[in-house]
């Protein structure tokens, strides 16, 4: 900034008693202050715009609506935040695999723009959908969200959550959350109705391969044959904390089958996503039989090899409020899992996919 520029003149109005530039006061007065310096907005490039209190926004930003200053924090590879129970948490926790809507809102703000469309093909009780609605009231702007969920119970829970939450918000005088569309059915069928490239962000939390329950279920199966005779694999659901509402049939799949199924599903989902969009997937790792099961890495590779998607990042969501337990003491080191992985994929450009097809 030049000594005799407009910015300098303004900055002289905001001096501390010691004669130093008082950035806090200048900021309070809504002047464009970045890193303690007053910005000369006349010097910004045509594609740059100063956003009060947020920094400089580059109009060429295709990823999100964040300014450079916000981007610096939004690209951190660890999200170290415990999200206190809210948005009808008790009701949503009937699911057991629900995600904090505020965490979803945070990710939606990082990987989409106001007015964009977000899809969650494994929507559960609607963490992503609620997150998309929250964006309207938390500064980043409303997104439209579509969810698919094959268990009708979770569709009903989402609708009740929204109803109760909005009743409370109205009673408090807060604006209600925009309802989003949660379609009941199998994502493999429902994805067929989503137009190509119409989704800007696919944010989801995949149904788990229930490794811990696999062996137990197989053993139990032998002793429960009469009960299983009537099981059709489509409606079974045992709820509870260790389960995310999956039919028992999913627990009996091998890991290879689970990975192949996920790969196939994501290759279909990818067609619905805009070439500039992102696919963001929650997945926790597991520990079993003295060994770490790197499910996130396995899933990332399975998706990359089946779908035209490239892994751009693995964000870690570290929840510092998670309860700790003594596992393995004093004989064996067993990790207390206080994190989940958030895999971030971008679409391969057409030229990349064509080059790969040629190699095949
Ligand atoms: C990990 S949970 C998602 C939880 C969600 N993030 C939330 O906040 O509630 C995965 C969900 O996918 C659903 N699901 C599994 N396979 C499905 C399929 N083929 N089509 C639609 N939903 C499916 C399960 O019923 C389960 O509710």
Q: Is the CB of 101 under 6 A from ligand 1?
A: no
Tell how far the Cα of 321 is from the centroid of ligand 1, in angstroms.
25
Say if ligand 1 is within 6 A of residue 124 CB. yes
Could you tell me if the CB of 250 is within 6 A of ligand 1?
A: no
Least confident span in 50-54, 62-66, 91-95: 50-54
Which tens digit of pLDDT belongs to each residue from 26-36?
666 666 777 77
Find out whether 346 and 309 touch, Cβ atoms under 8 Å: yes
247 or 67, which is more confident? 67
Q: Six-digit token pair at 253?
A: 């799949």
- The mean pLDDT value of the chain amounts to 84
pTM of the entire predicted model: 0.82
Query: Is the minimum distance from the CB of 186 to ligand 1 under 6 angstroms?
Result: yes
Query: Which numbered atom of ligand 1 lies nearest the CA of 265?
Result: 19
Q: Quickly tell me which residue has 């501390």 as its tokens.
A: 16
How far, in Å, is the centroid of ligand 1 from the Cα of 82? 22
Q: Which atom number of ligand 1 is nearest to the Cα of residue 158?
A: 9
Greater confidence, 285 or 17?
Answer: 285
Reply yes or no on whether the pLDDT at 307 is more than 90: yes
Contact 20, 13 (CB under 8 A): no
Q: What confidence score (pLDDT) does residue 233 get?
A: 30
Q: What pLDDT score does 94 carry? A: 95
Indicate whether residue 149 lines ligand 1 (CB < 6 A).
Answer: yes
Tokens encoding 193: 């109705």
| pLDDT tens for each residue of 324-338 | 989 899 999 999 999
What pLDDT shows up at residue 32? Answer: 74
Report the 10 Å Cβ neighbour count for 8.
Answer: 14
CA of 128 to the centre of ligand 1 (A): 11
Q: Is the CB of 209 under 6 A from ligand 1?
A: no
Please give the share of the chain, as a percent, with pLDDT higher than 70.
79
Query: Which of the residue ranges 75-84, 147-156, 157-166, 232-241 would you say has the lowest mean pLDDT?
Result: 232-241
Q: Indicate which atom in ligand 1 lies nearest the CA of residue 92.
A: 9
- Regarding the beta carbon of 110 and ligand 1, being less than 6 Å apart is answered no
Query: CA-CA distance, 1 to 148, in Å (whole number)?
Result: 53
Nearest to 29 by CA among 48, 6, 2, 10: 10
Tokens found for residue 283: 């997945």
What does each C-alpha distance from 342 to 99, 283, 285 come to in angstroms?
A: 12, 6, 11
User: Taking 50 as the threshold, does the pLDDT of residue 212 lie above it?
Assistant: no
In angstroms, what is the span from residue 216 Cα to ligand 1's centroid?
22
Q: Between 73 and 226, where is the model more confident? A: 73
The pLDDT score that the predictor gives to residue 223 is 45
Q: How far is the CA of 271 from the centre of ligand 1 (A)?
A: 20
CA 216 – CA 301 distance, rounded (Å): 28
Bridge partners of 309? 347
Q: What is the pLDDT of residues 41-59, one digit of tens each?
A: 778 889 999 888 888 999 9
Fill in the DSSP letter of residue 85: S
Task: In whole angstroms, give the CA distance from residue 266 to residue 306.
Answer: 8
Site to substitute for ligand 1 among 87, 122, 246, most atoms within 8 A of C-beta = 122
Rounded-to-integer distance, Cα 353 and Cα 306, Å? 12
Cα gap 98→245, rounded to integer Å: 10
Task: Identify which has the larger pLDDT, 349 or 147.
Answer: 147
- Structure-block tokens of residue 144: 């439209």
- Residue with the nearest Cα to atom 14 of ligand 1? 122
Identify which of 149, 252, 264 has the alpha carbon closest to the alpha carbon of residue 204: 149
Looking at residue 40, its pLDDT comes to 79
**Where residue 215 falls among pLDDT bands split at 50, 70, 90?**
very low
Q: Which has the minimum average pLDDT: 162-166, 250-254, 260-264, 308-312?
A: 250-254
Residue 152 has pLDDT above 80, yes or no: yes
Ligand 1 binding pocket includes 127 (Cβ within 6 Å): yes
Instruction: Please report how the helices 255-272 and 295-306 are oriented relative to each other, as an axis angle in degrees rounded to 10.
Output: 50
Residue 304 is predicted with a pLDDT of 98
Q: Which sequence spans correspond to the domains of the chain? A: 6-65, 76-359
Q: Is the CB of 143 under 6 A from ligand 1?
A: no
Q: How far is the CA of 159 from the centre of ligand 1 (A)?
A: 15
pLDDT attached to residue 87: 95
Name the residue with the closest Cα to ligand 1, atom 3: 124
C-alpha 89 – ligand 1 centre gap (Å): 17
CATH topology (fold) of 76-359: Rossmann fold (3.40.50)
What does the pLDDT read at residue 30?
64
Predicted confidence (pLDDT) at residue 231 exceeds the cutoff of 50: no
Confidence band, pLDDT 50/70/90 cuts, at residue 288: confident
């Amino acid at each position: 900034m030049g000594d005799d520029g407009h910015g300098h003149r303004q900055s002289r109005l905001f001096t501390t008693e010691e004669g130093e530039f008082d950035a806090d006061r200048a900021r309070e007065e809504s002047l464009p202050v970045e890193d303690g310096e007053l910005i000369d907005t006349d010097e910004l490039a045509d594609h740059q715009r100063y956003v009060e209190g947020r920094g400089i926004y580059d109009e060429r930003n295709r990823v999100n609506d964040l300014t450079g200053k916000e981007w610096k924090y939004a690209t951190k590879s660890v999200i170290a935040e415990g999200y206190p129970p809210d948005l009808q948490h008790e009701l949503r926790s009937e699911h057991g695999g629900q995600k904090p809507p505020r965490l979803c809102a945070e990710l939606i703000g990082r990987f989409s723009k106001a007015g964009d469309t977000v899809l969650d093909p494994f929507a559960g009780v609607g963490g992503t959908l609620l997150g998309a609605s929250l964006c309207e009231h938390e500064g980043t702007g409303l997104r439209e969200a579509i969810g698919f969920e094959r268990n009708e119970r979770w569709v009903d829970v989402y609708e009740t959550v929204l109803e109760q939450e909005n009743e409370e918000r109205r009673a408090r005088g807060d604006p209600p959350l925009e309802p989003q569309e949660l379609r009941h059915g199998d994502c493999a069928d429902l994805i067929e109705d989503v137009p190509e490239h119409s989704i800007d962000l696919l944010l989801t939390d995949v149904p788990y391969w229930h490794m811990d329950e696999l062996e137990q279920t197989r053993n139990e199966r032998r002793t429960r044959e009469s009960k299983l005779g009537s099981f059709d694999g489509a409606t079974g659901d045992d709820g509870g904390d260790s389960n995310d509402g999956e039919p028992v049939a999913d627990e009996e799949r091998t890991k290879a089958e689970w990975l192949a199924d996920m790969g196939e599903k994501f290759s279909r989902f990818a067609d619905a996503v805009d070439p500039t969009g992102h696919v963001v997937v929650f997945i926790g790792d597991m520990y079993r039989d003295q060994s770490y099961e790197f499910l996130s890495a396995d899933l990332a590779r399975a998706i990359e090899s089946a779908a035209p998607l490239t892994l751009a990042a693995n964000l870690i969501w570290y929840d510092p409020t998670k309860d700790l337990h003594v596992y393995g003491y004093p004989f064996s080191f067993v990790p207390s899992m206080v994190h989940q992985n958030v895999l971030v994929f971008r679409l391969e450009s057409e030229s990349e996919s064509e080059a790969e097809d040629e190699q095949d």
